[in-house]
Structure 1
Amino acid sequence: MQEIGSFLSLIDSYIGGSQWFVLLLLGTGFFFTLYLKFPQVRFFGHAIKVVSGKYDHHLDKGDTSHFQSLATALSGTVGTGNIAGVALAIHLGGPAALFWMFVSAFLGMTTKMVEVTLSHKYRETTERGYISGGPMYYMKNRLHMRWLAAIFALATICSSFGTGSLPQINSISNAMFASFDIPLYVTGALLSVLLGLIIIGGITRIAKVTEKLVPFMAVFYFLGALSVILYNYENIIPSLVMLFDNVLNGSAAAGGFLGAGVALAFNRGVNRGLFSNEAGQGSAAIAHAAAKTKEPVSEGMVALLEPFIDTIIICMLTGMVLLTSGTWMEKYENKFQQADMVLLAGTYNEADPAQKLAVGQHIKGEKLLPLYDGKIVVKEGKLTTPATLIHARSFAEGVRFMQGKALFTGELTVKKGKIELPVLKSYPITVYGKSLLHSAPLSTEAFKRGFFGEWGQFIIPFSLLMFAFSTAIAWSYYGDRAVTFLWGSRYVPVYHVIYVLGFFLASFTDTTLIWIFSGVTIALMTLPNLLGILLLHKEVKQSVNEYWKKQQTEK
């Protein structure tokens, strides 16, 4: 499994995890923003009118209303990335990462409008009378590149598991266990039954659920975030100043945070922003294709609102909670993850400014320090070998090596800074101590710093429950439309059974490999979609101009 993971990581490093992929996504959004003359600004007000139902007509062809399509698409994009992804971006890139998330969302609004317009324009009606659409249909019907459409559809099916099903329930079940001691399989079983009942009803039932769930979860999270930001009101202006100042200068060391360069803030901010709102991936276009309207561009206008809601509002709320609370630069007692640990050769003291600077430069990749290689000696849980343990990009404090519940004594092997933690006498070697946090644990700590105090920590598990479960619902629809495209509607029930079964099994199994696999499949969805919309840029511009001219004439 480790070899498979390494192989997938290598593939991902050349596509989805590479700098050129980020620049391609951002560049596509920038191109269409200029080419279509800033539609995210010009048409924003009109988009709100469309989604409100002002232009609806009962004879329009489709399965869902504009609002239901938006809610379904948002349920697929608003997920763990809005909570854990933002915390990870700030942990890696500092406050400036939030700025680049904002930029990626602003440009992504145009990309989303373009891909949805084309997907809606070339949608089809299945043999059972339902609408089926998405990038694979314009690739087949307009570009006449069925092979490209097949690649996109296969990647969509894989992503429905890698993004929408397996890691989402794993996050939910672990959050419920950590907060309320609910067994993993119990959470998995209950939600699997609920998921099955929802998705078996198709897009009509999915839309009815999401149109109620999305507004509720958005308001719930908004009020929870506001309770922290307003409680720390004196930090709002300093946080905003720091955010914009760090864009050009990078993030300086602060507390346990050892700093981040400009390049890393850009990469992490754009990467997390695009991962959150999925602009360019083409997934949400599948949901929007089912909307009732005869004007494809009008549904593109609705989609334009998605990155704004998902990233500019919800992700920025999470970011401001982290910055105003100050938790992003503080250390907390936690169980160390092996992937986040690195052992430096020699002893470095955080209290020494020169040594702290040297370790900070190492973490930022500016000037690397030698890594420890060989054997280390641990006595009664304490590291006695001269070396410095770094965890989560910070100096680890109060480090304890444990064997089950007992303090560990013995030797451990270190290879290129990575400590091997074997299982001895049925007990794994684990490491505990104080360090920075990231992802969902960091967000959980931040929500304790508001009007609700310690009770604020429960906002995160409930938000994860709603966000992640709604993502699983939406992605089940994306997957079944891809199955319909490739093999027909008769195989959709088989896909649904496998989807729900995988959902249950992932509630109590490790899905680390799935996250890596997901990154690869997302890239395989995105690349064909970006190629397609760029090839059809003239058609998009003509469609938008004709639609807007018609709207102006009807006024």
Structure 2
Amino acid sequence: MSSAIILILLGSGIYLTIGTKFFSLTKLNYIVKHTFNNMFSKKTSGVGDVTPFQAVSTALAATVGTGNISGVATAITIGGPGAIFWMWIAAVFGMTTKYSEVLLAIYYRKRTKDGRYVGGPMYYIENGLKMKWLACIFALCASIASFGIGNMVQSNSVADSLNATFNINPITTGIILSLATTLVIIGGIKRIGSFAEIFVPFMAALYIIGGLVILSINVNMIPKIITLIFDHALSGHAAVGGFTGATVMHSIKIGVARGVFTNEAGLGSAPIAHAAAITDNPVQQGLWGIFEVLVDTIIICSITAFVILVSGLWNSGLTGAGLTTAAFETLLPNSGFIVSIGSLFFAFASIIGWEYYGERCIEYLFGHKVILPYRILWSLMLIVGAISDLTEIWLLSDVLNGLMAIPNLIGVIFLSPIVFKLTNDHFKINKANHIK
């Protein structure tokens, strides 16, 4: 993703945060009360296909991926510990970007002839800005990118990991992934939502608890690590041995890029899942977008970063998932399986979540008749990805991910007056009714 797109994403987040009067920070108690505290509540009002938590679980399934494990490690080795501080900054502003996307997805969603609720950037760009051509560009980029970053790249990483650890033939892994994925996606958003509602909290809890256990054992190191992060963020230090250019600006670039990439705020993917939520309140569902960024970046990515920094291996020359695994093993022998299982679960969840994104985009372009062929192709491409060299696919996916952001942000920024008005009205009503 280019520096220009990263700056546009960050700038958009800052603009939206100011426009909503920093409510994602000042109303944090309200946000927690209406998201974390209601995760498993079945009390919903309005229309839609899945509960609000099932919708956010589907979005998190795609968002929480191998980047939370290997991507954070790579950011630290390239940009130094200071990159984590800038990752947090990107997440703080990204919360409002994700909130705005989700709000607009609900506000402009539509009901299909067969009774399903669909929405996302292509719908708020077309219906809000009256620019169908731009909506089609987003849908085209997203549908193609989904086969890269959400399909073949994920199956390839799982196949490589299982082959290296357990000597499992990559084609065997590809076939198993293909069959398991088919069983989930064949039921559409309702089955995907039911799956994600159980699977995503389980996989996140496994990784979070494992990381917190390790950090609790080394709790005396936490103040030093926080100091290290802030020191490097503001002064800049070389990261990997022999690497001499990790300046403050480099640390900012790497940290912001990792923050944007890991939570996908501004890319326009997650609103596609949120649009199916049962709700009659765009603002209320938008709060789940903030929840999504908090879980993905502020919690999961931070746990990865702290374990790596506490282990002292961040400048050892290791990088990626290998560094994260070594950090876990150093601090708690035989705990590396947490990373291995986490990588497997996160990758499978991403496959499921991105299938739904791509399916909605391809349906927008070509109609309902393409859904079944798309699902079949999606499952088959997992086998192809497991046995292929994906160097060029990685590059293409990265470019298309960036291109998704441009039409999406045009939609979000030009429709921001709606975001600001609905947000302001919502909290005015709550204040009048003494709702906290």
Query: Structure 1 length as normaliser, TM-score?
Result: 0.75
Aligned residue among 20, 25, 38 for 2:22: 38
1:186-227 residue CA offsets vs partner (Å, 9 max, x unmatched): 111111101011001000000111111111111110122123
- Measure, in 2, the Cα distance between the counterparts of 1:542 and 1:236: 41
Alignment of structure 1 residues 281-320 onto 2, 5 Å: 281-320=267-306
> Which deviates further from its counterpart, 50-59 or 85-94?
50-59
2:151 is aligned with 1:270: no
2:426 match: secondary structure: helix
Aligned residue among 70, 74, 84 for 1:84: 70
Shift of 1:535: 0.7
- Measure, in 1, the Cα distance between the counterparts of 2:113 and 2:31: 32
- Please name the residue that 1:357 is paired with: none
Shift of 1:54: 10
Shift of 1:252: 4.4
**Equivalent position amino acid for 1:220 in 2:** L
Alignment of structure 1 residues 122-271 onto 2, 5 Å: 122-252=108-238, 260-271=246-257
- Please name the residue that 2:323 is paired with: 442
Shift of 1:234: 4.2
Aligned residue among 539, 542, 551 for 2:418: 539
- Please name the residue that 2:10 is paired with: 26
Distance 1:58 1:463, change over 3 A: closer
- Measure, in 2, the Cα distance between the counterparts of 1:21 and 1:475: 21
2:279 match: secondary structure: coil
**Equivalent position amino acid for 1:41 in 2:** L
- Measure, in 2, the Cα distance between the counterparts of 1:60 and 1:542: 21
2:393 is aligned with 1:514: yes
Distance 1:129 1:173, change over 3 A: same
Shift of 1:36: 0.9
**Equivalent position amino acid for 1:446 in 2:** A
Query: Structure 2 length as normaliser, TM-score?
Result: 0.95
Distance 1:267 1:54, change over 3 A: same
Distance 1:57 1:225, change over 3 A: closer
- Please name the residue that 1:50 is paired with: 34
Aligned residue among 466, 480, 487 for 2:366: 487
Shift of 1:229: 2.5
Shift of 1:116: 0.8
Query: Structure 2 regions of 5+ residues with no counterpart?
Result: none
**Equivalent position amino acid for 2:397 in 1:** S
Shift of 1:53: 6.6
Decide whether the 8 Å contact of 1:195 with 1:473 is kept in 2: yes
Distance 1:262 1:201, change over 3 A: same
- Please name the residue that 2:336 is paired with: 457
- Please name the residue that 1:478 is paired with: 357
- Measure, in 2, the Cα distance between the counterparts of 1:55 and 1:172: 33
1:29-60 residue CA offsets vs partner (Å, 9 max, x unmatched): 11111111112113333333333179976551
**Equivalent position amino acid for 1:504 in 2:** I
Decide whether the 8 Å contact of 2:76 with 2:239 is kept in 1: no
Distance 1:55 1:505, change over 3 A: closer
- Measure, in 2, the Cα distance between the counterparts of 1:111 and 1:201: 30
**Equivalent position amino acid for 1:26 in 2:** L
Shift of 1:177: 1.4
2:307 is aligned with 1:321: yes
1:179 match: secondary structure: helix
Aligned length: 432
Shift of 1:286: 0.4
Shift of 1:510: 1.2
- Measure, in 2, the Cα distance between the counterparts of 1:543 and 1:171: 42
Name the Cα RMSD after superposition.
1.7
Alignment of structure 1 residues 339-358 onto 2, 5 Å: none
> Which deviates further from its counterpart, 545-554 or 473-482?
545-554
Query: Structure 1 regions of 5+ residues with no counterpart?
Result: 1-15, 331-435
Distance 1:239 1:54, change over 3 A: closer
- Measure, in 2, the Cα distance between the counterparts of 1:231 and 1:543: 45
- Please name the residue that 2:383 is paired with: 504
- Measure, in 2, the Cα distance between the counterparts of 1:67 and 1:58: 10
Decide whether the 8 Å contact of 1:168 with 1:468 is kept in 2: yes
**Equivalent position amino acid for 1:443 in 2:** T
2:69 match: secondary structure: helix
1:456 match: secondary structure: coil
Distance 1:79 1:254, change over 3 A: closer
- Measure, in 2, the Cα distance between the counterparts of 1:496 and 1:174: 24
Alignment of structure 1 residues 5-20 onto 2, 5 Å: 16-17=1-2, 19-20=3-4
Decide whether the 8 Å contact of 1:297 with 1:547 is kept in 2: yes
Answer 1 or 2: which has greater strand percent. Answer: 1
Distance 1:253 1:281, change over 3 A: closer
**Equivalent position amino acid for 1:444 in 2:** T
- Measure, in 1, the Cα distance between the counterparts of 2:309 and 2:244: 15
Decide whether the 8 Å contact of 1:50 with 1:66 is kept in 2: no
- Measure, in 2, the Cα distance between the counterparts of 1:488 and 1:133: 14
1:329 match: secondary structure: coil
- Measure, in 1, the Cα distance between the counterparts of 2:176 and 2:237: 44
Answer 1 or 2: which has greater helix percent. Answer: 2
